[in-house]
Amino acid sequence: MFNGMTAMRLDVAVIGAGPAGLSAGLYASRANLKTIVFEKGVPGGQVVITDAIANYPGAGADAGGQSLVARMVEQAESFGAKILTDPVEAVDLSGRLKSITTPKGVYEARAVIIATGGKPKVIGCPGEAELTGKGVSYCATCDAAFFKDLEVFVIGGGDAAVEEALYLTKFARKVTIVHRRNELRAAKHITEKAFQNPRLEFMWDTVVQEIKGEDVVEAVILKNLKTGTITERRAREEDGLLGVFPFIGFDPVSGLFKDAVAADEQGYIITDDCMRTNIDGVFAAGDIRRKPLRQVVTAASDGAVAAVCAEKYIEANKW
């Protein structure tokens, strides 16, 4: 496929294989455009680590993120899109042909669709980085089973924190939501469920100051922002381990395009209704984009629009 000397020529390069990228891949390949969707890890993005996608039309109340993504991948591939596990290391978007460099080689594309999404925000407190994977986790779906009958703290008050906390109650003995304000940000129907769950407790106006442990999380140090009171919550001796699941939002993964593609102050890429960025032939779709609602349904929609507009752009700029 690639000999290391010449760049492989594509019509459309999609960067990121979450719902936005997979939808773009599906639409672009269905329009007979030679399309590769580049993914640095596992396809699916944030959806893969989501237990239930209850609000994607037609997915059904119990649709799991992983099965939804598996069907998206299959569908995109059935139209000819190639989904490649090959992390994009550099891009040059300035010319008519855009260049994409990965460890496997260099690709040239007439159009690029950026669908790199976001990554979980970190608390940034002492112990968090050191104990990630040792009690600190950003994925309840992946790690809930490790906390069977243990005590778990979920940090944040948005949809993700409350939904994942509800999921964790199926495993953990007790789940405490630690929120920096005294009111949840999550949607009403989610918070109502949470308030009715006997295994869920809340610590309001509270932040995590430190996560402690030798090899695994043994304790969390919490600070009440109103009173200044510091509390230590320690794992029971027989448990030996606490869970800490921060769900405090996302940061856009836009580093590769910094300085080239116009973004807002938080790093979200600015597009028009056609998902066009400030650079001809470069589109953005999904959570990476500045927009009012980040959901699977809006990501899939963005991907479709971006691919159709990329098709029109390629058609109008034949060379």
Catalytic residues: 139, 142-143
**Distance, CA of 123 to CA of 78 (rounded, Å):** 41
In the complex, minimum distance from the CB of residue 78 to ligand NAP, in angstroms, rounded to a whole number: 28
Angle 292-296-297 (CA atoms, 0-180°, nearest 5)?
Answer: 75
In the complex, minimum distance from the CB of residue 224 to ligand NAP, in angstroms, rounded to a whole number: 13
- Joined tokens for residue 214: 């030798």
In the complex, minimum distance from the CB of residue 223 to ligand NAP, in angstroms, rounded to a whole number: 11
Residue showing the smallest CB distance to ligand NAP in the complex: 158
Among 86, 163, 302, 311, binds ligand NAP (CB under 6 A): 163
* Binding-site string for ligand NAP from residue 122 to residue 141, where x marks contact by CB under 6 A and - marks none: -x------------------
Per-residue DSSP letter, 262 = -
In the complex, minimum distance from the CB of residue 157 to ligand NAP, in angstroms, rounded to a whole number: 3
* Binding-site string for ligand NAP from residue 198 to residue 227, where x marks contact by CB under 6 A and - marks none: ---------x--------------------
Q: Calculate the CA 119 to chain-centre distance.
A: 5
**How many residues line the site for ligand NAP (CB under 6 A)?**
20
Among 12, 165, 248, 309, binds ligand NAP (CB under 6 A): 248
Choices 16-24, 25-33, 179-187, 212-220; region in contact with ligand NAP by CB under 6 A: 179-187
Angle 24-296-286 (CA atoms, 0-180°, nearest 5)?
Answer: 50
Q: Residue ranges of the alpha helices (H) in 44-186?
A: 65-78, 140-143, 159-168
Q: Does 161 bind ligand NAP (CB under 6 A)?
A: yes
Residue 181, Cβ neighbours under 10 Å: how many? 11
- Joined tokens for residue 180: 């920096």
In the complex, minimum distance from the CB of residue 180 to ligand NAP, in angstroms, rounded to a whole number: 4
Strands of the chain, DSSP E: 8-15, 35-39, 82-85, 90-92, 98-102, 105-114, 118-120, 151-155, 174-178, 200-203, 206-212, 219-224, 230-234, 242-246, 250-252, 282-284
Which residues of the chain form contacts with ligand NAP (CB under 6 A)?
A: 55, 123, 155-161, 163, 180-181, 185, 207, 247-250, 294-295
